[in-house]
Amino acid sequence: MLFKYCMLLGIIAKADAYIFPSKKFDKPISAATVEKNFKLILHHLNIVTNYENPHKRGPCLHCLRHCFMLKSFKQLKKTDMNLIYQYHIYQYIVVIIH
């Protein structure tokens, strides 16, 4: 899936390309833009959030990050990759996402 996404962006074999670029493709998309768009999507879908109370905030980008990692580990487990390899992939993805 990531390969198809990179093909659509035209960034295959471009070492300096960003996976999540800004509109001009000259820098990565800002965290503020991602957060703003995420909140707009939640609002459009009538999903209520409670950002005032951090322990009952509802959906957030940080939670999506954890969901992504859990699903990634489940996929890796299906392919019988060992845990050390999974950990190295996790560390690489955390650097990219963070």
What tens digit of pLDDT does each residue of 26-45 get? 899 998 999 899 989 988 99
Report the C-alpha gap between 1 and 4 in whole angstroms.
Answer: 5
Q: Compute φ and ψ for 28, nearest 5 degrees.
A: -70, 155
Examine residue 91 and state whether it is found in any structural domain, yes or no. yes
Number of domains in the chain: 1
pTM of the model: 0.57
Cα-based torsion angle of the residue sequence 13, 17, 21, 26 in order, rounded to the nearest 10 degrees: -140
| Domain that residue 48 falls in | 28-97
Question: Does residue 58 fall inside a structural domain?
Answer: yes
Residue 1 is assigned to a structural domain of this protein: no
pLDDT for the residue numbered 16? 86
With respect to residue 63, please indicate whether it lies within any of the assigned structural domains: yes
Of 16-20, 44-48, 71-75, the range with the lowest mean pLDDT is 71-75
For residue 86, the model assigns a pLDDT of 59
- Helix/strand/coil for 21: strand
What are 50-98's pLDDT values in tens digits?
666 767 767 888 888 888 888 877 777 777 655 556 565 656 555 555 4
Contact present, 47 and 59 (Cβ < 8 Å): yes
pLDDT for 84 equals: 59
